[in-house]
């Protein structure tokens, strides 16, 4: 049992100071700007909730929100099952294990702007491998919104599926052999093994994967910005494009942040509830 | 239930075994009778789990054959051998209820619901879980979970044998005792062939009719707990069984006697030995007498174990342990003698059989 | 679990999919711009190292590579340094508000960069740290410190507190105990945390770009500048620079590969 010791606050102080500077102060600045307007003489005066109302009535905001949510829904629908499927088929022993892990992790370590650049170079119909090959089918992400969406989705799947697969792999590998042996003795089919042994064990890991991907995909900026230059505009892109309008951008920032916060609260609630459920807590990233 | 025959089983886990040391199982020839309760007893790494897995089919032996009721099953995969196995920690399907857990093997084999329900209810009664049949398996305690694991093995009417791999490892001591008693009950009532792997001699001795002691990949002795105690075939058996274990002291042969310094213990016949084996004398602490007669000894320590005392002494440079009951006195000038009933001769660690009665 | 003989095909196809755009990037880096824009070639016909020569030879390119690595390393060191005592506190003690504090910390990991870009810009400008490496390093702490605390706390909780107590009985002061006894025990945890800090700081774009102008700009900022320049995009150089950004990540992953494989096997990443 952990002893109570208020002096522990001193150990936490450096973190507190650092994160306070990084988080609290900027956030306060944003809140500040979100309730004020700059007049022509440079002075700020109080606006109350006007900016918030403006944003919430602005179809650009709702458009961006809708686009971001749709994007997230689509990529989740692809990445989660795909990631699980790949994890189920990844090698468990031998030289294949480190080789697979290294190669699959590669996209995760590329700077996001470069990811966008890679896909731009890959998808352009003049210089890109994919672009040229698909040109005759009428593909061109520059003009066609459907093609643009398709390219961005493909890029995100390329970029992040490995994360889901690696997390799922970690979960699968932690299942003791005895479970598979018992299943053999019980005469279970492959589907039954998946449904009753693997899927339940994957539950917690998948929750983390889903929530991480959901939130990160809502916040995406650099990659689509580089590929399509800001059209379709997701939440972050919309925010960046309106950053000159301090009040508007700040109000939208707060709303945006609150959305993310709500999701992460769900995240935390689900995780800690699962912790108290299971008898053996496992460490997970 | 089936009679299980192990025919010249040898097994190595590595791809290219070069010496005996690479084999997890050196040579096992053993028959397990139909309806017998056996314990495979031995220290970690002696091969007992390997042997169990070879019987269940989870491992295919590199040499030798396994037979159930005379049929060669060596090539058969686990699911076709009709065995039940209970593992070290409870393996249950968390998302199902207890009843569904038990029904699972039957459903996988296409047994009709009416029949399956009947079997499941029967087994639930047998293991005393009818009361919680419809509870979700997830929140149950370890011992109940192990019973559910056991139940899944019992539902199939055609089970050849039930195998246990150290099943009480995660159970706490009080429940351990209860579960052991219940397993014994089950065996008495239904006559299953049960093979139980453990490294705990108490578990083995209380559970089994026949204990199979294993050491370094071989079976060194099989017998009832009494046989193992009174006539250990191997110095390891003597050391492993009983607490404290048997005393093993180097000795020399003088015709029909074992000698320890001046002391001489006569044997019933002259032992026939091949070559020049390492000779040792084995005698359990229960058969060591401390009194006025015998070899002079120096007592190093006396431990009080309640009903008796454990006396650690040294005789001619060798450590000896003796058990002295509560009331007996330890003389000031102690001498050690051995009760001939408990005296054995070991050549290269194996007991030399001297016919009826070993020492005169 | 028994896997069929052909299950390896699935990860193989997936890896092929992953490597194809990367191959394209690399092959472009070995082509001249005329070849790139002229016609379509699957494989560099006029193989050239000019693009790499331009990158290595240009002090501005070298400068931005240095910038990136520098602020990433700075951030990793700072994040780990402040996270260690905090994680220790969370792991070993109960104190007023500890659960709420932990939760609040984790939420910062989820902060959208776009929301913080502008206020960071104003804040660091005001304190005169705009366009410095330390600014980016500190700003990235917003995400990395919570992550580091989370990871380290997990590893620390795996060390029995009897070890701490024994050390005090043996006469160690807290700093001595922490540096000489405790840290070696959680070395792999520090490694994992450092890896994630490095990785996240290395890939992040928006904040690093916003907080710098010329002195501390990351590679990606220069790439954007080259992309937007007049007179045609220098695809070859961009491809070469892009390829070079993949290398640090690949190297790090290569070195920790067995660690990670083992970590998976033990049930904790």
pLDDT of residue C75: 94
Domains plus CATH for chain A? 58-277 (1.10.3720.10)
Tokens representing residue A247 in the block? 């009040």
pLDDT higher than 80, residue A73: yes
Is A178's CB within 8 Å of B88's CB?
yes
Residues C172-189: tens digit of each pLDDT: 888 888 888 888 888 878
pTM: 0.79
Band of residue C266 on the pLDDT scale cut at 50, 70, 90: low
Enumerate residues 6+ apart whose C-beta is below 8 A from C76: C144, C194, C197, C198, C201
Residues B292-321: tens digit of each pLDDT: 878 888 888 888 888 888 888 888 878 888
Mean pLDDT (chain B) is 84
Residues B117-146: tens digit of each pLDDT: 888 888 888 788 888 888 888 888 888 888
Arithmetic mean of pLDDT, C46-69: 89
List CB contacts (< 8 A) between A8 and chain C: 89, 92-93, 95, 98
CATH of the domain at C166: 1.10.3720.10
- Give chain C's domain count: 1
pLDDT higher than 60, residue B356: no
Residues A111-159: tens digit of each pLDDT: 999 999 999 889 888 888 888 888 888 888 888 888 889 999 999 999 9
pLDDT higher than 60, residue C267: no
Is A158's CB within 8 Å of C103's CB?
no
Tokens representing residue C28 in the block? 């472009």
Mark which residues 229-258 of C lie under 8 Å from A by CB.
Answer: 235, 238-239, 242, 245-246, 248-250, 252-254, 257-258
Instruction: Say what percent of chain C tops pLDDT 70.
Output: 95
Arithmetic mean of pLDDT, A17-25: 85
Evaluate whether C206 touches C114 at the Cβ level (below 8 Å).
Answer: yes
Of A214, A261, A212, A208, the C-alpha closest to A71 is A214
pLDDT of residue A280: 40
Task: Tell me which of A16, A19, A210 to substitute to probe the interface with C (most C C-beta atoms closer than 10 Å).
Answer: A19
Band of residue B209 on the pLDDT scale cut at 50, 70, 90: confident
Residues C66-95: tens digit of each pLDDT: 999 999 999 999 999 999 999 998 888 888
pLDDT higher than 80, residue A192: yes
Residues B145-168: tens digit of each pLDDT: 888 888 888 887 778 888 998 888
What CATH class is the domain B4-235?
Answer: alpha beta
Interatomic CA distance for residues B322 and C43, integer angstroms: 86
pLDDT of residue C268: 44
Is A284's CB within 8 Å of C254's CB?
no
Does residue C121 fall inside a structural domain? yes
Burial class (CB in 10 A: 0-12, 13-18, 19+), B240: buried
Give me the residue from B58, B83, B108 closest to A188, CB to CB.
B108
Q: Which residue has the higher pLDDT, B332 or A63?
A: A63
Band of residue C140 on the pLDDT scale cut at 50, 70, 90: very high
Residues B218-236: tens digit of each pLDDT: 888 888 888 888 888 888 8
pLDDT higher than 90, residue A85: yes
Q: Which residue has the higher pLDDT, A257 or B14?
A: A257
Q: DSSP label at C130?
A: T
Give me the residue from A178, A186, A277 closest to B105, CB to CB.
A186
Mark which residues 145-174 of C lie under 8 Å from A by CB.
Answer: 145-146, 149, 151, 154-155, 158
Arithmetic mean of pLDDT, C230-239: 85
pLDDT of residue A278: 45
**CB-facing half-sphere around the CA of B45: CA atoms within 13 A:** 3
pLDDT of residue A38: 72
List CB contacts (< 8 A) between A170 and chain C: 264, 267-269
Does residue C219 fall inside a structural domain? yes
pLDDT of residue A282: 33
pLDDT higher than 80, residue C262: no
pLDDT of residue A16: 87
A 10 A CB-CB count for A133 gives 12
**Edge-to-edge strands, sheet with B318-325:** B298-304, B308-315, B318-325
Q: DSSP label at C97?
A: T
Interatomic CA distance for residues B245 and B285, integer angstroms: 7
pLDDT of residue B75: 83
Band of residue C1 on the pLDDT scale cut at 50, 70, 90: low
Give me the residue from B77, B79, B95 closest to A200, CB to CB.
B95
Is A187's CB within 8 Å of B79's CB?
yes
Looking at A275-284, B76-85, B184-193, which range is the least confident one? A275-284
Question: Which superfamily, per CATH, for B244-351?
Answer: Nucleic acid-binding proteins (2.40.50.140)
Instruction: Calculate the CA B42 to chain-centre distance.
Output: 6
Is C268's CB within 8 Å of A283's CB?
yes
pLDDT higher than 60, residue B237: yes
Does residue C8 fall inside a structural domain? no
Mark which residues 157-176 of A lie under 8 Å from B by CB.
Answer: 176
pLDDT of residue A276: 53
Question: Judging by DSSP bridges, how do beta strands B218-223 and B210-215 pair with one another?
Answer: antiparallel
Distance from CA of B142 to the nearest CA of A (A): 10
Distance from CA of A148 to the nearest CA of B (A): 43
Q: Provide the domain limits for residue C60.
A: 18-265
Does residue C13 fall inside a structural domain? no
Residue of A nearest to C123 (CA): A26
Evaluate whether A208 touches B129 at the Cβ level (below 8 Å).
Answer: no
Arithmetic mean of pLDDT, B187-201: 86
């Amino acid at each position: 049992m952990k002893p109570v010791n208020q002096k522990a606050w001193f150990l936490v102080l450096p973190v507190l100071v650092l994160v306070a500077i990084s988080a609290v102060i900027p956030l306060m600045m944003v809140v500040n700007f979100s309730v004020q307007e700059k007049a022509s003489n440079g002075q700020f005066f109080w606006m109350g909730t006007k900016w918030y109302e403006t944003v919430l009535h602005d179809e650009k905001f709702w458009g961006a929100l809708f686009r971001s949510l749709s994007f997230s829904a689509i990529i989740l629908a692809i990445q989660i099952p795909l990631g699980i499927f790949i994890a189920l088929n990844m090698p468990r022993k031998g030289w294949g294990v480190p080789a697979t892990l290294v190669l699959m992790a590669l996209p995760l370590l590329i700077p996001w702007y470069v990811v966008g650049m890679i896909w731009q170079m890959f998808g352009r119909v003049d210089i890109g491998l994919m672009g040229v090959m698909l040109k005759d089918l009428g593909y061109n992400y520059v003009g066609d919104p459907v093609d643009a969406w398709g390219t961005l989705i493909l890029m995100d799947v390329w970029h992040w599926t490995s994360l889901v697969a690696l997390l799922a792999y970690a979960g699968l590998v932690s299942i003791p052999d005895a479970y598979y042996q018992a299943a053999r003795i019980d005469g279970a089919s492959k589907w039954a093994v998946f449904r009753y042994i693997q899927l339940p064990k994957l539950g917690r890991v998948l929750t983390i994967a889903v929530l991480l991907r959901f939130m990160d995909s809502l916040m995406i900026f650099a990659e689509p910005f580089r590929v399509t230059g800001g059209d379709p505009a997701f939440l972050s892109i919309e925010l960046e494009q309106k950053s000159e309008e301090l009040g508007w951008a700040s109000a939208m920032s707060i709303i945006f942040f609150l959305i993310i916060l709500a999701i992460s609260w769900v995240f935390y609630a689900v995780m800690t509830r699962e912790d108290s459920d299971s008898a053996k807590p496992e460490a997970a990233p | 239930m089936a009679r299980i025959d192990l025919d010249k089983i040898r097994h190595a886990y590595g791809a290219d075994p070069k010496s005996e040391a690479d084999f997890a199982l050196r040579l096992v020839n053993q028959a397990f009778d139909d309806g017998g309760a056996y314990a495979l007893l031995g220290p970690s790494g002696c091969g007992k789990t390997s042997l169990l897995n070879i019987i269940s089919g989870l491992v295919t032996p590199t040499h030798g054959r396994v037979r159930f009721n005379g049929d060669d099953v060596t090539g058969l995969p686990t699911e076709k051998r009709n065995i039940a196995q209970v593992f070290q920690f409870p393996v249950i399907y968390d998302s199902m209820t207890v009843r569904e857990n038990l029904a699972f093997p039957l459903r996988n084999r296409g047994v009709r619901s009416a029949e399956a329900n009947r079997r499941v209810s029967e087994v639930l009664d047998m293991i005393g879980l009818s009361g919680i049949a419809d509870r979700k398996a997830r929140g149950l305690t370890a011992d109940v979970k192990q019973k559910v694991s056991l139940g899944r093995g019992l539902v199939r009417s055609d089970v050849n044998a039930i195998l246990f791999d150290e099943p009480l490892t995660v159970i706490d001591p009080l429940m351990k005792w209860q579960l052991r008693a219940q397993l014994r009950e089950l065996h008495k009532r239904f006559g299953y062939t049960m093979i139980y792997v453990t490294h705990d001699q108490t578990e083995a001795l209380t559970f089994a009719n026949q204990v199979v002691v294993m050491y370094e990949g071989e079976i060194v002795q099989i017998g009832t707990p009494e046989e193992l105690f009174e006539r250990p075939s191997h110095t390891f058996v003597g050391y492993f069984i009983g607490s404290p274990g048997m005393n093993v002291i180097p000795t020399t042969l003088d015709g029909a006697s074992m000698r320890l310094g001046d002391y001489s213990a006569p044997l019933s016949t002259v032992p026939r030995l091949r070559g020049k084996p390492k000779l040792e004398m084995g005698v359990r602490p229960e058969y060591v007498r401390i009194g006025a007669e015998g070899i002079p000894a120096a007592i190093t320590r006396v431990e009080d174990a309640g009903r008796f005392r454990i006396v650690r002494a040294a005789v001619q440079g060798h450590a000896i342990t003796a058990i002295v009951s509560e009331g007996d006195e330890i003389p000031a000038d102690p001498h050690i003698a051995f009760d001939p009933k408990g005296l054995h001769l070991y050549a290269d660690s194996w007991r030399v059989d001297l016919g009826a009665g070993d020492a005169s | 679990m028994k896997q069929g003989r052909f299950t390896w095909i699935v990860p193989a196809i997936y890896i092929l999919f992953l490597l194809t755009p990367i191959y394209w990037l690399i092959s472009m880096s070995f082509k001249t711009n005329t070849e790139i824009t002229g016609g379509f070639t699957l494989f560099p016909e006029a193989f050239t190292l000019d693009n790499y020569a331009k990158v290595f030879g240009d002090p501005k390119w070298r400068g931005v590579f240095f910038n990136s690595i520098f602020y990433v390393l700075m951030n990793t060191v700072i994040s780990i340094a402040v996270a260690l005592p905090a994680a220790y506190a969370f792991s070993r003690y109960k104190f007023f508000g500890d659960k709420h504090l932990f939760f609040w910390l984790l939420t910062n990991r989820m902060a959208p960069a776009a929301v913080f870009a502008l206020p960071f810009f104003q804040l660091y400008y005001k304190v005169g740290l705009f366009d410095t490496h330390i600014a980016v390093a500190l700003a990235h702490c917003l995400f990395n410190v919570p992550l580091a605390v989370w990871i380290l706390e997990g590893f620390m909780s795996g060390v029995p507190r009897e070890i701490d107590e024994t050390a005090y009985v043996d006469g160690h002061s807290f700093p001595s105990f922490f540096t000489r006894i405790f840290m070696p025990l959680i070395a792999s945890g520090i490694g994992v945390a450092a890896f994630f800090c490095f990785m996240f700081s290395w890939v992040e774009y928006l904040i690093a770009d916003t907080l710098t102008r010329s002195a501390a700009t990351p590679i990606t900022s220069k790439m954007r500048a080259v992309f937007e320049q007049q007179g045609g995009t220098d695809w070859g150089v961009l491809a070469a620079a892009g390829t070079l950004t993949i290398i640090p990540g690949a190297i790090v992953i290569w070195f920790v590969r067995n660690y990670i494989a083992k970590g998976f096997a033990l049930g904790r990443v």
